[in-house]
Copies of this chain bind each other. A is one copy, B any other.
Amino acid sequence: MTVLHTPPASPDLDESTAHLRIAESVTSRESSLTQLSTFFDWFTPLRDRSFTDVDRVPLDDMQGWLTDPDTGNLRHSSGRFYSVHGLDIQSPEGPVPRWSQPIIDQPEVGILGILVKKFDGVLHCLMQAKVEPGNCNGLQLSPTVQATRSNYTGVHRGRPVPYLEYFRDLTGHTILADVRQSEQGSWFYQKRNRNMVIEVTDEVETLDEFCWLTIGQVHELLALDDIINMDSRTVLACLPFDGAEPLATPPGDDFRAALLRSFRAGHGARHTTRQILAWLTDVRTRTEVLTRPVPLRDLPGWQRDPAAIAHESGRFFEVIGVHVKAGGREVAEWSQPMIRPQGVGVAAFLVTRIDGVLHALVRAIAQPGYKDVAELAPTVQCVPGNYDVLPEAARPRFLDAVLDATPERIRYDVTLSEEGGRFYHARNRYMVVEVDDDPRFDHPDFRWMPMHQLAGLLRHSYYVNVEARSLVACLHSLSGA
Q: Taking each of A15, A170, A176, A461, which has the highest tally of chain B beta carbons within 10 Å of its own beta carbon?
A: A461
Distance of A462 from chain B, by nearest CB (Å): 9
Q: Taking each of A2, A6, A170, A278, which has the highest tally of chain B beta carbons within 10 Å of its own beta carbon?
A: A278
A5 vs B359: C-alpha distance when bound (angstroms): 13
Interface presence of A429 (CB below 8 A): no
Q: Determine the residue in chain B with the shortest Cβ distance to A290.
A: B107
- Are B109 and A275 touching (Cβ within 8 A)? no
Within 8 A of B (CB), among A264-297: 267-275, 277-278, 281-282, 284-285
A371 vs B373: C-alpha distance when bound (angstroms): 12
Interface presence of A12 (CB below 8 A): yes
Contact of A281 among B180, B269, B372 (CB under 8 A): B180
- Are A275 and B15 touching (Cβ within 8 A)? yes
A277 vs B3: C-alpha distance when bound (angstroms): 15
- Are A4 and B282 touching (Cβ within 8 A)? no
A178 vs B278: C-alpha distance when bound (angstroms): 5
- Are A460 and B268 touching (Cβ within 8 A)? no
> Are A281 and B16 CB-contacts (below 8 A) given A3-B268, A175-B274, A355-B5?
no
Residues of B contacting A278 in the complex (Cβ-Cβ under 8 angstroms): 170, 175, 178-179
Contact of A274 among B194, B275, B354, B459 (CB under 8 A): B459
Q: Determine the residue in chain B with the shortest Cβ distance to A281.
A: B178
Interface presence of A248 (CB below 8 A): no
Interface presence of A9 (CB below 8 A): no
- Are A16 and B175 touching (Cβ within 8 A)? no
Contact of A460 among B2, B170, B277 (CB under 8 A): B277
Contact of A269 among B2, B170, B240, B460 (CB under 8 A): B2
- Are A1 and B281 touching (Cβ within 8 A)? no
A5 vs B15: C-alpha distance when bound (angstroms): 33
> Are A3 and B460 CB-contacts (below 8 A) given A109-B285, A178-B277, A180-B284?
no
Contact of A275 among B2, B175, B371 (CB under 8 A): B175
Q: Taking each of A179, A269, A281, which has the highest tally of chain B beta carbons within 10 Å of its own beta carbon?
A: A281
User: Number of contact residues on A: which range applies?
Assistant: 35 or more
Interface presence of A377 (CB below 8 A): no
Interface presence of A380 (CB below 8 A): no
- Are A281 and B194 touching (Cβ within 8 A)? yes
Q: This chain: how many copies in the complex? A: 2
> Are A4 and B179 CB-contacts (below 8 A) given A274-B459, A277-B459?
no
Residues of B contacting A431 in the complex (Cβ-Cβ under 8 angstroms): none
Interface presence of A433 (CB below 8 A): no
Distance of A272 from chain B, by nearest CB (Å): 5
Q: Determine the residue in chain B with the shortest Cβ distance to A269.
A: B1
A1 vs B354: C-alpha distance when bound (angstroms): 14
- Are B179 and A12 touching (Cβ within 8 A)? no
Interface presence of A357 (CB below 8 A): yes
Residues of B contacting A459 in the complex (Cβ-Cβ under 8 angstroms): 273-274, 277
Distance of A451 from chain B, by nearest CB (Å): 14
- Are A268 and B355 touching (Cβ within 8 A)? no
Contact of A2 among B3, B170, B194, B268 (CB under 8 A): B268
A145 vs B161: C-alpha distance when bound (angstroms): 54
Contact of A179 among B269, B277, B372 (CB under 8 A): B277
A240 vs B194: C-alpha distance when bound (angstroms): 30
Q: Taking each of A178, A180, A267, A268, which has the highest tally of chain B beta carbons within 10 Å of its own beta carbon?
A: A178
A240 vs B275: C-alpha distance when bound (angstroms): 13
21 A/B residue pairs, CB under 8 Å, sorted by A? A2-B268, A3-B268, A3-B269, A3-B271, A4-B268, A6-B270, A109-B285, A170-B278, A170-B282, A176-B274, A178-B281, A178-B282, A179-B281, A180-B281, A180-B285, A194-B281, A240-B274, A273-B459, A274-B459, A371-B372, A372-B461
